[in-house]
Amino acid sequence: MQRATPEILPNGNRQSFLFRKFGNEAFLAPFHYHQEYELTWIARGRGKRFVGNRMEDFSDGDFVLIGPNQPHCWKLDASARSAKAIVIQFSHSFLGTDFFERPELELIRSMLQASVSGLKFTVDKKPELADLKAIGRANGARRVLLLLDLLDMLSLKPYTTIGAAALYDTAADPADTKRINVVMAYIVEHFKDDISLNDVADIANLTPNAFCKYFKRVTRKTFMDTVIQYRLNHASQQLIHTEDSVSAIAIASGFNDLSYFYKVFKSKLGMSPLAYRSSFNH
């Protein structure tokens, strides 16, 4: 059973930031979080990107910046046989505690602040991606300068906010933070399955009744509302991007009762699944 735990980043070479290339193994990682900012470029691959409480499709060229302590993971579609990604992780103080407070770095600072909700960049093949790859080949001061140059270029480019909200009340204590991330990791991995309240409560080391009260207090949503949100998000994306039947999509998204799927879909999205699909085909 996979659980979200704080990721301790390796730093055996005493580098001020990490640059890593990944294959399919990166997409097997569970829902996790760490104190560092993370820039991720998907060179090849498609599937679902989970950031905080948001789930979206990703494909080749997906380029995002995720702020500290925001849980995230990427899951490949079953049909995607191979994938490649470049990941850069750096702390806010990797060049000194007050480095990004300097007036010349205002745009970078604003971008980093906005990354708490996740940012998605639309970039050309060059020069941004050329500089991204060059960081992995560089050594010494040149390596740091190239990262700063990349951050500067990205801060000048249009970017959109993913809109990922915190999974928990920001006033929650560390124990709540750890516990809710464990629970959310389980939801991310199993929302398409028949999730048992007893199983999830057991993961949180609470009775089912205590768990329901705890989950609502920390997330301000009920447990089932959260599960349904993920299921509807998945279903709505499948309606747009596939030609699968509504019944097949409902089942693949975790809804075993088709009539209930229609009811909750229309209640939450304001139209039927077929009308929703049709609205994107015009």
pLDDT per residue as tens digits for the range 248-277: 999 999 999 999 999 999 999 899 999 999
pLDDT, tens digit (0-9, with 9 covering 90-100), for 163-203: 776 666 555 566 777 788 888 889 988 999 999 899 999 99
Residue 119's pLDDT is 95
pLDDT band at 4 (very low <50, low <70, confident <90, very high): very low
Distance CA 282, CA 277 (A): 9
Distance CA 265, CA 230 (A): 12
pLDDT band at 145 (very low <50, low <70, confident <90, very high): very high
The stretch 207-227 carries a mean pLDDT of: 91
Residue 78's pLDDT is 74
**pLDDT exceeding 70 applies to what percent of the chain?**
89
Determine contact, residues 134/142, Cβ cutoff 8 Å.
no
Cβ-based neighbour number of residue 278 at 10 Å? 12
- pTM to 2 decimals? 0.76
The pLDDT of residue 8 is above 60: no
Residue 172's pLDDT is 57
Determine contact, residues 33/70, Cβ cutoff 8 Å.
yes
Residue 167's pLDDT is 61
Residue 7's pLDDT is 54
Lowest mean pLDDT among 15-24, 223-232, 234-243, 256-265: 234-243
Q: Which ranges of 58-173 does DSSP label H, i.e. alpha helix? A: 106-114, 128-137, 140-156
Backbone angles phi, psi at 193, to 5 degrees: -95, 180
The pLDDT of residue 11 is above 70: no
Residue 13's pLDDT is 55
> Which residue would you say has higher pLDDT here, 108 or 170?
108
The amino acid at 25: E
The stretch 146-173 carries a mean pLDDT of: 80
pLDDT band at 131 (very low <50, low <70, confident <90, very high): confident
Residue 218's pLDDT is 84
pLDDT band at 220 (very low <50, low <70, confident <90, very high): confident
How are strands ordered across the β-sheet holding 47-51? Answer: 54-58, 47-51, 72-76
Residue 99's pLDDT is 95
CA dihedral 183, 185, 188, 191 (to 10 degrees): -40
Residue 28's pLDDT is 82
Sign of CA dihedral 155, 51, 130, 150: positive
Token duo for residue 123: 């970039």
Residue 1's pLDDT is 34
pLDDT, tens digit (0-9, with 9 covering 90-100), for 54-85: 888 899 889 999 999 888 899 888 777 789 99
Distance CA 25, CA 28 (A): 5
Please, which contacts does 10-17 make with residues 24 or more away whose CB atoms are closer than 8 Å?
Answer: 16/90, 16/94, 16/95, 16/144, 17/88, 17/89, 17/90, 17/91, 17/94, 17/144, 17/147
> Which residue would you say has higher pLDDT here, 102 or 184?
102
